Structure 1
Amino acid sequence: MISYVLRRVGWALLTLFGVCLFTYAIFFLLSPDPAVLICGQTCTPERIATIRDQLGLDQPFWVQFGTFLLGLVAGRWYGSGPGAVHCAAPCLGHSFQSGQSVGTMIGERIEVTITLAVGAALLWLVWGLLSGVLSALREGSWVDRSFNTVALAGIALPNYFVALVLQFVLVVQLGVLPFPTTVRFSEDPALWWDSYLMPWIVLALMYAAMYTRLTRSNVLDTLGENYVRTARAKGLPPVTVVGKHVLRPSLTPIITIFGMDVATLMGGALITESVFGLNGIGKMARDAISTNDQPVIMGFTLVAAFFVITANIVVDLLYSVLDPRIRVRSA
């Protein structure tokens, strides 16, 4: 197991290196000159040359890339002398628009995105598993048809439409919830709950619909297996048959997509954050794209890649726990 984990971590680091190289090349070789973007429209050639020298943009590409990688683990100094600026590790650069450290910008917003992703993930996982299992056990009944109808509606309705409808009904018409605001749990637990409840529901609705249909399909396939019929013939209680012999092996593909879905949301729920005005890293990325703020876009890309790669490792390790037929082979 230890050797397997070490191999996976090694491949993860290699993958992150590839993402860094590709992202850096896209934003600093194929995009407009960063010095021109920083300087603005009224800049002189002398000022542009000074900025390129301070940022090291006059160096060969591999020197720039090596400096960027070193900054991720050891920080980086911009310029020299009294005007030098230090960027603490992990240094992802500074925003062209605000001059703020990209790492600081992400750190200030990541809590909002994690809260949104984790809360929504718990909702859709619980609802998707319960509704999927009940639909499979009551195949063809009104329960099955009702859950399928809700699932189809959840898949068909766009996130922004559901968000606007909820805000109109719950906030404007009924007044049972306030407009969402970025607030910490420690500051006001009640307002924190009220602010995230609608975004959680909006995100969970679409994912819960997909998980309902996937769980239903997996459970129906597993119910037809010989070992399930044997367990029933032995007189085991239905709860034991479903919980131990049916649901557990059915969870393997669900865990796979669950890990990827949560990791993707950790990279920012762009539409949901924008509609509800939550200042997460998804909204930050949208603003950076609209202004071509290259360091912020690159920092967002690397953070999102980190979450996805980490989720892959965690999911692979969970396989052997959920399904005893799967074993991790050591090298």
Structure 2
Amino acid sequence: MLRFLVRRTLGALVILLFISAFTYFLFFAIPHDPALLSCGKNCTPDNIALIHRNLGLDEPIPVQYFHYMVGIFAGRHFSVGDCSAPCFGYSFANSDPVWPTILNRFPLTLSLAAGGIVVFLLVGLGTGMLAAWRRGTFIDKFFSSVSLVLSSMQIYFVGPIVLALLVYNNQLMDQPKYVPISEDPIGWFSGLLIPWCVLSIIFTAGYTRMARSTMIDQLQEEHVRTARAKGMSSRYVFFRYAWRGSLIPIVTMLGLDIGTLLGGAMITEFVFSLAGIGRLAVDSVLRTDLPMLMGVMLFSAALIVLFNIIVDAAYAFIDPRVRLS
């Protein structure tokens, strides 16, 4: 296990290094001067040259990238102040430090992801298992049809409709907002309930179909049929043997989804005007704010890679037949 984790961690670092280099060099392919963000309205050539020098933009791009990567581990000094490790620089748009800004936005994204995961796991796995148990019946056909319809929907379509029906037209619920759970648990729950449900609609369909197909495959396995032949009840066989064997593909999908959601549910946050990691990424792209964009990209990529490693390590615990090598 230790060798596996070390090997995967080293591979993850290589992936993150490639992502950082690709994003950094791609940014400078855009025909836009980032110094204009810090210069304001009354820009002169002398002011722009001074900003270039203060931000290190007057150096060759490979040198800038080297200083950026060193600063993540060792810290850097900027004209606006010292930046201790991990240093991702200061925003070109408002001079805010990147790393504290990401940490301030992350609790909202974490709350959004956690609530959505709970909802779509309970609903998706529950309906998928029920459809597999009642294969060929009306229940199976109903849930399969509903999941097919939901899989074709998108958050940017469902979100505004739900807001119009529940918030703007009928005032049945309040406008979605984020309240820290430590301050007001009820306000935290009610403020994110609509985004959770809309987010779960998109993911539930995939988990329903995955749970149904894997459970049906497991019910055809030899050890399951042998357990039934020994006189064990269908419910016991279903949960004791078939359910555990169907977890690996579900956990694989869940690991990718968790990493993606924690990295920033961009569309959901944008639709519901929630200022999380996803909204920060969108704003950084619109403003061509390289330090903030790089920080969000590396943070999101690190979460996705981390949960991939966790999922791979969890295989051996879920299925004894799997060996990490």
TM-score by length of 2: 0.94
Segments of 5+ residues of structure 1 without an aligned counterpart are none
Q: Is the 8 A contact 1:27 1:298 kept in 2?
A: no
2:128 aligned with 1:132: yes
Q: Is the 8 A contact 1:95 1:296 kept in 2?
A: yes
The superposition leaves residues 225-247 of structure 1 with CA deviations (integer Å, 9 ceiling, x where unpaired) of 11111111011232331122211
State the match for 1:110 in structure 2. Answer: 106
2:250 aligned with 1:254: yes
State the match for 1:3 in structure 2. Answer: 3
State the match for 2:19 in structure 1. Answer: 19
Give the secondary structure class of the aligned counterpart of 2:82: strand
Change (3 A) 1:44 1:174: closer
2:47 aligned with 1:47: yes
The superposition leaves residues 6-42 of structure 1 with CA deviations (integer Å, 9 ceiling, x where unpaired) of 1111111121111122222122455533234432564
Change (3 A) 1:118 1:40: same
Where do residues 161-172 of structure 1 align in structure 2 (5 Å cutoff)?
161-172=157-168
RMSD, matched Cα: 1.8
Where do residues 144-183 of structure 1 align in structure 2 (5 Å cutoff)?
144-183=140-179
Q: Measure the CA separation in 1 of the matches of 2:225 and 2:125.
A: 22
State the match for 2:60 in structure 1. Answer: 60
Change (3 A) 1:172 1:28: closer
State the match for 1:236 in structure 2. Answer: 232
Amino acid at match of 1:326: V
Q: Is the 8 A contact 2:35 2:92 kept in 1?
A: no
Q: Measure the CA separation in 1 of the matches of 2:31 and 2:5.
A: 37
Amino acid at match of 2:119: L
Compare 21-30 and 127-136 and name the one that shifted more: 21-30
Give the secondary structure class of the aligned counterpart of 2:77: strand
The superposition leaves residues 106-163 of structure 1 with CA deviations (integer Å, 9 ceiling, x where unpaired) of 1111110111011101111121111111101111212112212321232122213322
State the match for 2:260 in structure 1. Answer: 264
Q: 1:296 Cα shift?
A: 1.7
State the match for 2:94 in structure 1. Answer: 98
How many residues matched? 325
Q: Measure the CA separation in 2 of the matches of 1:242 and 1:194.
A: 36
Give the secondary structure class of the aligned counterpart of 1:77: strand
Q: Equivalent of 2:289, from 268, 290, 293?
A: 293
Stretches of 4+ aligned residues off by more than 4 angstroms: none
Q: Is the 8 A contact 2:75 2:87 kept in 1?
A: yes
Q: 1:176 Cα shift?
A: 3.8
State the match for 2:271 in structure 1. Answer: 275
Q: Equivalent of 1:284, from 280, 284, 288?
A: 280
Give the secondary structure class of the aligned counterpart of 2:264: coil
Q: Measure the CA separation in 1 of the matches of 2:314 and 2:284.
A: 36
Q: Equivalent of 2:200, from 200, 204, 208?
A: 204
> Percent identity among equivalent residues?
41
Give the secondary structure class of the aligned counterpart of 1:267: helix
Amino acid at match of 2:149: A
Q: Is the 8 A contact 2:259 2:307 kept in 1?
A: yes
The superposition leaves residues 307-331 of structure 1 with CA deviations (integer Å, 9 ceiling, x where unpaired) of 11101100100111111110112xx
